[in-house]
Structure 1
């Protein structure tokens, strides 16, 4: 399977390093030196399997560009890894809030970057058949990366980014178990945990919004001062959402 990776990087020297690293990993890399050409590559046919985006692109408009990718119905679920100059927790959270699947800094090695890329792509590429997870009317198929629930008595399919999907799988695999944010980070991030547990809150917020108005609304509960818990049908929640 040929994996198409679009790399958005203005600096030609840095773009070449990323291109060579991606090619060495067996990917088919394509370079976009500005956001205009990047938009054409990302929205082309076929869609890329993953995008590597530098936050500093076009004078720091990279994260704003990501928000546009997420509002485009055709590209909104393409995995995106953001590379930022800023090493603060706030920058990481800001990128994830904008829709990034992962955030790394310039100091991150190419080896770690593409280990993270492989971790993001792995759920879609796995050859090992994994059983579906069903909790509280919510069914997740790890092999096909699909999520189903019901709305008004009719089955509906929900859409999630790669990182949202991984987090949901982790939570559903431990129903009724109280999980701290640290435990969720350790379980849902295979390569290098993000530096701030607020990232868990951002992703859980997005998962809850995804389930609004469905039979699975309220499945993920907040346990005050502890973390989160997936409740099964018939379980009386002990804390507010």
Structure 2
């Protein structure tokens, strides 16, 4: 009689670093969730809820690599059992936090189907951070080459300047207000991936912002209105280089 080989999952990497690293392949478990109906109405990154084919392009990431929302918007190349059998790896964008685990990803159900049979429920995967090229179109509809997208915050006002960023090629480490004298005033990053200016003074005009990615690259976004109360997105045309 032929022995039955159990489906033994890979051990969890207990030494995983909070910050995603270029060139590093991570191993972990993948599960899936209903990304069309996230808890709380939106994922923890604060991005719009998607529908249709776009759902196959998003994931939640473990509570270590979430790194206080720094992983928001990151692009990951993922391989699972179907890739072992010859399928091409998939690319997903981080849009949510996987509270319950310190390893792996909680893929949208649609993305999980691209790497494994849903009846398996939990599978081993490999994933790595990537810098998509300019022609890559994100689940939210813009190409990387169009530049970083500034998402307006409806609650913003002259005493509460706030924005959220999407469509950035690499994860964002910080956002700073660029003063006329060249000095930088940091915006505070919230758990919902919004950046807030806390100066105690009213904001009377559009601002220039310096955005820094996790590799130290910087781009300047000019004339960004962080206090208008508008929910409109602004496509900036400015983008980080490929790493």
* TM-score, shorter chain, exceeding 0.5: no
Q: Comparing both structures, which one devotes a greater share of its residues to helix? A: 1
Query: Bigger relative contact order, structure 1 or 2, given CA contacts below 8 A and separation 6+?
Result: 2
Q: TM-score, normalised by structure 2?
A: 0.26
Structure number having the greater strand percentage: 2
Mark the structure with the bigger radius of gyration. Answer: 2
